[in-house]
């Protein structure tokens, strides 16, 4: 949610993640598989908007990328 990410659509990406996972920021799925947190900056402004899953960094993420990214972790 830092400036570069927010300007490039991080709010919409975050909203889609909330909807897909049924979570709000700071929450965890009942099975413990996913948690969702918003942060101000991870220092990858050139890749904005960015999200991370464990140690994997995804850059230039769009709303349309969310299903594909989550599919990698849901089997």
Domain ranges of the chain: 3-74
Q: What is the pLDDT of residues 7-22, one digit of tens each?
A: 999 999 999 999 999 9
Low-confidence ranges of the chain (pLDDT < 70): none
- The whole-number pLDDT of residue 18 equals 97
Burial state string for 31-49 with b = 16 or more CB within 10 A and e = fewer than 16 = eeebebebeeeeebeebbb
The rounded distance, in Å, linking the Cα atoms of 33 and 10 is 22
Which residue has 């909203």 as its token pair?
15
- The whole-number pLDDT of residue 62 equals 97
Q: Domain 3-74: which topology?
A: Glutaredoxin (3.40.30)
Is the pTM of the predicted complex or chain greater than 0.85? yes
């Amino acid at each position: 949610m830092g400036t570069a990410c927010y300007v490039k659509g991080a709010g919409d990406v975050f909203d889609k993640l909330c909807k897909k996972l049924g979570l709000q920021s700071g929450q965890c799925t009942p099975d413990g598989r996913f948690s969702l947190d918003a942060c101000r900056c991870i220092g990858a402004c050139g890749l904005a908007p960015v999200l991370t899953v464990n140690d994997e960094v995804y850059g230039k993420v769009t709303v349309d990328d969310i299903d594909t990214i989550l599919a990698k972790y849901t089997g």
